[in-house]
Amino acid sequence: MSRPIQALIAAILLAGLASAAQAADSRVEIPIVQRTLSDGTLRYAVLMTIGGATVEAGLDTGSTGLRLLPGAAPVAMTRRRETYAYSGGVKLDGVPAEAEVGIGGGLSGRISVHVATRIGCTIQRPWCSASTLPPGRFGLMGDGLDGEGFKAVLGLSMAGKPADNPLRALGARRWIVILPRPGEPDPGKLVVNPSDAEARDFVLLPLMARTSWRDDSVHDAVQGCLKDVTAAMTICGPVTLDTGANPIVLINAAAGPALWNGPAVLSFKGAPAGVAFSTGQTGQTGQAAKIVGGRDQNLPRSTILAGVTPYFADDVFYDPEQNRIGLRPRRPWRDGSHAGP
């Protein structure tokens, strides 16, 4: 091959790589829709294409990876085996696969996905939401309700390698999650590769060193406190934010959920504003949140799994390259109440 032709081919390849890098780094905005299960639980989802099929995938910042139920989309499966368990106990036994994936019309590529071939429960939680339904009636994030939930889950936890996170595998460097709020018409959005101007007003919080080694949702924990205003009771420890979980769960905490029944504030170390709400209720707004208790020998004392509640008060910025998240207070609710104190 002559030198001029070699030089031309090299130039074309470099141009292609530059173009791909530019496309991967470009800003993409994906609408987030709110879905309500028959028991009133709120879930959030985004539309995406997987193997050419359009799929509504549950948006879950508390898990990692793009997970599919059988038949959700045509993908090329391998012979290897892969198992993944969610914090609620649902266990997916299946195989890794490769698929062309697109999100928002501006983010696409061939990435690894996980296709479940068997759905069950972990030994620790044998009565999980998958225990009472046949596979064809079970949906991810569907709380075990017949025929409800999603055929796929887009897990955006920053735990694991970059290839484990679907957005990072597609070239995303950072992203912002803005959830739609109950009772308000404004749609939510997932902003991938936001501009520096969009990221400027966030209070940036480092992930806690003592939990950031983990490969589960607690990897993304930041230091915070939950305070009962009436009882003057405070619990501090690692706090996780999770779009796939509704109640606030106090793990290994001395003060059980029965003691929480009134105004409360969830605050984060280093952030000037907290998330104010009332407890002892099952409400789904920024003003009411249910608190439950739990024990887990694998988690630190007084771990606060804050679930979806913080997203009603703050836009949340994810920066995996710097191991941090950011919070930006949202405007007051349309009814005149406030998402924060």
Q: To which H or E segment does residue 327 belong?
A: strand 324-329
Q: How far apart are CA 98 and CA 75, in angstroms?
A: 6
N residues, the chain: 341
- HSE (CB half, 13 Å, CA atoms) of 254? 5
**Residue 10 neighbours by CB distance under 10 Å:** 10
Confidence (pLDDT) at 32: 97
Which CB contacts under 8 angstroms, 24+ apart, belong to 120-129? Answer: 120/90, 120/91, 120/93, 121/89, 121/90, 121/91, 122/85, 122/89, 122/90, 122/91, 124/89, 125/88, 125/89, 126/89, 127/89, 128/88, 128/89, 128/90, 128/91, 129/88, 129/89, 129/90
**Which pLDDT does position 15 carry in this prediction?**
39
Q: Please tell me the pTM assigned to this model.
A: 0.87
Structural domains of the chain, ranges and CATH numbers in brackets: 28-172 (2.40.70.10), 203-329 (2.40.70.10)
Residue 40 CA to residue 56 CA, distance in Å, equals 19
Q: Where are the alpha helices (DSSP H) in the chain?
A: 3-25, 166-169, 309-313
Q: What is the pLDDT of residues 125-179, one digit of tens each?
A: 999 999 989 888 999 999 999 999 999 999 999 999 999 999 999 999 999 999 9
- Segment 1-49, tens digit of pLDDT: 444 444 433 343 333 433 333 345 789 999 999 999 999 999 999 999 9
Pairwise CA distance, residues 181 & 77, whole Å: 38
Of the candidates 250, 256, 219, the one whose C-alpha atom is nearest the C-alpha of residue 237 is 250
**Residue 271 phi, psi (nearest 5):** -100, 130
Between residues 90 and 183, the one the model is more confident about: 90
